[in-house]
Amino acid sequence: MRKIAIIGGTGVENPEKFPNFVEKIIETPYGQAKCKIGELNGNQVVFLSRHGVDHGIAPHKINYRANMWALKSLGTEEIFATTAVGSLNPEMKAGHFVVCDNALDFTKSRINTFYDTPERGVVHVDFTQPYCPRIRAKVIRCLEKMDVTFHKTGVYVCTEGPRFETAAEIKAYAMLGGDLVGMTSIPESLLAREAEMCYANCSIVTNMAAGISPTPLSHSEVVGAMAKSIETMGTLIDMFLADNEPVDIICGCPEALKEFGGFKL
């Protein structure tokens, strides 16, 4: 049995595909996390809405530590996370799917580790590949069977939010090698790595970023663009949950903290 979590981002807050799942509130040292839990294709599946079912939680206010702790406490081994992003790369256009392979962190005030107290000690986790190559390969395998334009790699630039970026910032991020810009992949992916869970991000491009877009950015534009891709993302999630064939890639995610005795709840 695979133990999978789906993290729904903007536009994927409350999918109808999990109607019989049981809603649970998980208590963690960092507060509560709300999840839906069930079984599909012989696998344990947990659904977590990153922004809440009504999109009421801003990206800089998300309790990332509570969310990741809750998923780990439920035995989660694989995380498939969705995000809505702006594009810095002219080859990555609205409606395209991108399976990110690296990231740039420009967040400012978020707590990005479980290890910030004397009781938990200090760790330095390897983050060379922010996104699990094994789970990424499975997502790519599913996308190759679908009629959708997608990119096998992409560098996700994570900003603090909740404001959109300036044109000068976008220009700088592009010069540094960024392809996409969003507000949620860090510290989510980093905390998943500390908790020794395999984490992959599949982004949907909703718009060109500031200074590239011919019009001012708006949240309604992002939501509207996501609405056009929701059905495709739902199909991808279905295929990912049903794909129980192994991938011939070994990752180090489940032993990311082996040097420090492993992650402990």
pLDDT in tens, 190-232: 999 999 999 999 999 988 887 776 666 566 666 666 676 788 9
Where do we find the tokens 């990332």?
64
Q: What is the pTM of this model?
A: 0.93
Is 178 within a domain? yes
Count of CB atoms situated within 10 Å of the CB of 51: 19
Looking at residue 225, what is its pLDDT? Answer: 62
Return the exposure string of 206-222: e unless at least 16 CB atoms fall within 10 Å of the residue's CB, then b: bbbbbebbeeebeeebb
As for how many domains the chain has, the answer is 1
CATH code of 139's domain = 3.40.50.1580
State the Cα–Cα distance between residues 103 and 101, nearest whole angstrom. Answer: 7
Looking at residue 209, what is its pLDDT? Answer: 85
pLDDT tens readout for residues 98-126: 999 999 999 999 999 999 999 999 999 99
**Sites in the chain below the pLDDT cut of 70:** 9-17, 53-55, 213-226, 228
Is 53 within a domain? yes
Is 265 within a domain? no
Is 236 within a domain? yes
Q: Which of 14, 2, 4, 95 lies closest to 51 in space, CA to CA?
A: 14
Is 179 within a domain? yes
Is 263 within a domain? no
Is 262 within a domain? no
Helix (H, G, I), strand (E, B) or coil at 164: coil
